[in-house]
Structure 1
Amino acid sequence: MGLEKDEGVCVEDIKLVMKGHMKDGYEFIPISSLSEKDQDYNRDPSLDDRVHVLVCVITGSILGMQDDSVKKLRKFCSVLAEIPEIAILTKIDDTCPEVGKDIRNVYKSKHLKKKIEEVSGVLGFPPSCIFPVKNYHSELETNDDTDTLILSALTRMIEYGEDFVNDL
């Protein structure tokens, strides 16, 4: 379940997940939020129960995001400001023809830089926390340049999460 307007996860439920108050196996109900009275409510979450980093995966065509989804995302991100936030910008080869021709142009592309700034403006994440990646979709073999971008984003996720835990 995503952030869809009427069918997506309730913002309150996402906040509870982030803070570790939701037990494993809980089934999200779009029309209502988990309450402290429910059996799936974790009253005393441990550090292991909490989310250590928020990763938003966004397609390179950010214009495809619904305003309601962006509003929902901003709403709970502002409340959970203590949790590190990063965005993974996917399908960069479809977004930028220059990168589509050669993935090594990823950090040279003015078009992609503009797209990262656009995502930064929409979500409120600093551009340094937005990581571009190319998706594998029809390739039969892996590619070192594509893997480098993916592994770099994964490394940042781990580092941000470790920093969060260490700061506690």
Structure 2
Amino acid sequence: MLKRLLFCLFTEFDQPWRDVTWSEKEQLLQSLKKFQLQIGNVSQLRIMLHGPIGSGKSSFFNSVNTAIQGCNMADALVDSTGGKSYSFTVKKDRPRSFYPFVFADTMGLEPESSNGIHTDDLNNILLGHIKEGYTFNPIHPISTEDIDYKHDPSLTDRIHCLLSVLPADNISLISEEVIQKMKTVRGKARIPQIAIMTMVDKACPLVQNDLEKVYISKRIKEKMKVCSDRLGVPMNCIFPVQNYFEQVTNNVKMDILLLMAIKNIIAIANDYAENQACAE
């Protein structure tokens, strides 16, 4: 009993430090379904996923899709080394109907300059200069003479939110070179950035046993603080989640954390797009 008491004292807060209603999945889904874009010619909010190899970028999109659809989804191939970027939409419950947001997935970042996607290419994606399906070269970023380079991208072509995906279990071990690449991209783009912290179940035994304790766990908050300090992202823009990996049926707690994250991502991306439309 004493051992258990000491364990809780050093691993748990008395109260959750971020509010979560663990019965609100349906409300979160309805909020997404009711969301409508009302920004001139912008038909979709564009959200770009980036992060180190193995961070769970593609798995995050698949997990969000699984949470929304209510069944196992795997539209994005989990391949961190692919040389192309792909856009993924999320279907609504009617034929040929989609949510007004799209995810752009890219190859993972690596420490070596000769591997992974070049930061100049990431910046050009953010600014809407690169056409869908372009094959990236880690050493030679796209040039303005390339046939896949868009010279006059519209607000619709541009990225409206940068989503940095990092693994909670080894966030401290990510090389400084990769972190600097991520910060360089954010600094050049000057668009909203949100961090998704995946693999919270691997980072904390308490959370592995009960996902509801994600915002009671001292270890998870420490990991989020490390993420904030290393990336320069404020704590209220960091969302810990557990991606679907082995599961083939939906888990309500996993879904709620994923839906909370996407709801905030959409709100921030929409606000940015509205401001940009007013400024043009």
- The answer to whether the superposition gives a TM-score over 0.5 is yes
Match of 1:30 among 133, 138, 162: 138
Counterpart secondary structure, 1:87: strand
Question: What's the CA shift string for 1:119-152, capped at 9, x where partnerless?
Answer: 0011110011110001222234311111100111
Alignment of 1:117 onto 2:117: no
Match of 1:42 among 140, 150, 163: 150
Question: What's the CA shift string for 1:66-91, capped at 9, x where partnerless?
Answer: 2211111111111222x110011011
Counterpart residue number, 2:254: 146
Distance in 2, matches of 1:152 and 1:130, equals: 11
How many residues are matched?
167
Counterpart residue number, 1:87: 195
Distance in 2, matches of 1:88 and 1:96, equals: 16
Counterpart residue number, 1:164: 272
Counterpart residue number, 2:178: 69
Question: What's the CA shift string for 1:96-132, capped at 9, x where partnerless?
Answer: 1111111111111111111100000111100111100
Counterpart secondary structure, 1:48: coil
Return the structure number with greater relative CO, CA threshold 8 A, min gap 6.
2
TM-align CA RMSD: 1.1
> Any stretches of 5+ residues in structure 1 without a counterpart?
none
Larger radius of gyration: 2
Further displaced range: 55-64 or 134-143: 134-143
Contact 2:207 2:214 in 1 (8 A): yes
Counterpart secondary structure, 1:27: coil
Alignment of 1:105 onto 2:218: no
Further displaced range: 157-166 or 63-72: 63-72
Quote the offset at 1:49 in angstroms. 0.6
Quote the offset at 1:41 in angstroms. 1.1
Distance in 1, matches of 2:214 and 2:247, equals: 19
Distance in 2, matches of 1:31 and 1:140, equals: 39
Letter in 2 for 1:87: A
Counterpart secondary structure, 1:2: coil
Distance in 1, matches of 2:116 and 2:208, equals: 32
Counterpart secondary structure, 1:89: strand
| C-alpha distance 97-11 of structure 1, shift in aligned 2 (>3 A) | same
Distance in 2, matches of 1:141 and 1:50, equals: 35
Distance in 2, matches of 1:149 and 1:90, equals: 11
Letter in 2 for 1:51: I
> Any stretches of 5+ residues in structure 2 without a counterpart?
1-106
Contact 2:172 2:226 in 1 (8 A): no
Counterpart secondary structure, 2:187: helix
Moved over 3 A (4+): none
Match of 2:244 among 123, 130, 136: 136
